[in-house]
Amino acid sequence: MRILFWGTPAYAVSSLDALVDAGHELVGVVTQPDRRRGRGKALVPSPVKARAVELGLPVFTPERIRKEPDCQQQLAALGADVYVVVAFGQILPKEVLQQPPLGCWNGHGSLLPRWRGAGPIQWSLIEGDAETGVGIMAMEEGLDTGPVLLERAIPIALRENAHQLAERLARLTGELLVEALPLIEAAGPGPEAERLARLGVRTQPDEGMTYARMLTKEDAQIDWSASALAIHRQIMGLYPAATSSWKGKRLKVLSSEPLIKRLKQDLSPEAQALAERWGLNAGESSSHTPGTVLECVDSTGLVVASSGCPLLIRAAQLEGKSASQGTQLLQQLGAVAGDRLGD
């Protein structure tokens, strides 16, 4: 099939590679323009553009595709059979959605209609979802509202962070797109309603719909008076951005485990032992001020009080320092029992 691929971040590169490896003809790649990054503010291409250049594919970088009719006409002239979109970063206008004869299809990183929007991976972790997945969806003018052709679920592990989960979902997206495209081709062109009926797509129900809003700096600020599980989900879901303070400096908390006895089977051996020592039994409450360091465990990390059971901080990055864990983290912070985070 002749495919025009739309994508921007590293997450989308797996899908681009999967389509190439499956033998499809990529007539072009549409991605976000180069952005200035780093201390030198040099222009840096998106990961998808960098990969497309390596593959020798034509690249298009509209600033706002909705307002660039000349670019829209250029893309239409490529004669693609289908448009495939994975984390492009702009909403496609009706004029673009109507161009390819076999439609526009999106690989979305959630089990729709849960977590429509820009941050489904982060929100599935923050909210403690037991599973997530990927859906291959026919695109409409609405935000992630189209009917779903294929969907596959995967479990979310307690100690999995957003980067790790994104890697798994990125691979799964590529696999499902390769599986979906022969079905889309076999259904053939024609009026959209007839094409989708031939494919037997699933209309998204209204029940269970949630929206993954854009995350803010405020979302990343750790509130130690929350529960250990809520703080842990925030740390893993916002990796590597969850932030507290340590003796007047910013501290990014990179890895944690909630010391909750009922979750022992999902904890590391070190955290299991600490949960036995510090975890609360049913009906008990914590007598410690949230954010207080309860214990410094050599080779492991910091045990920190929350509103209930404490939290084990395994890795962090202090302002002006490199990321560290275990003994190195304890030495870098100079932490002792009784110190406070968040002051």
Domain boundaries of the chain, sorted by first residue: 2-212, 218-333
Which amino acid makes up residue 301?
G
Predicted local distance difference test score (pLDDT) of residue 276:
96
Q: Of 24-28, 141-145, 194-198, give the lowest mean pLDDT range.
A: 141-145
Q: Which CATH superfamily is domain 2-212 in?
A: Formyl transferase, N-terminal domain (3.40.50.170)
- Kindly state the percentage of the chain with pLDDT values over 70: 100
**Pairing mode, strands 35-37 and 25-30:** unpaired
Are residues 116 and 212 in contact, defined by beta-carbon separation less than 8 angstroms? yes
Predicted local distance difference test score (pLDDT) of residue 38:
79
Predicted local distance difference test score (pLDDT) of residue 207:
94
Span 153-157, mean pLDDT? 98
What's the DSSP call for residue 292? Answer: B
R_g (Cα) of the chain, nearest Å: 23
Each residue's pLDDT tens digit, 162-207: 999 999 999 999 999 999 999 999 999 999 999 999 999 999 999 9
Are residues 196 and 138 in contact, defined by beta-carbon separation less than 8 angstroms? yes
Structure tokens at 240: 């590597």
Are residues 12 and 86 in contact, defined by beta-carbon separation less than 8 angstroms? yes
Count other Cβ atoms within 10 Å, centred on residue 330: 20
Q: What share of the chain is helix, strand, coil (3-state, %, to 5)?
A: 35, 25, 40
137: left (phi over 0), alpha (psi -120 to 50) or beta: beta
Architecture of 218-333 per CATH?
Roll (3.10)
Please give the model's pTM, rounded to 2 decimal places: 0.95
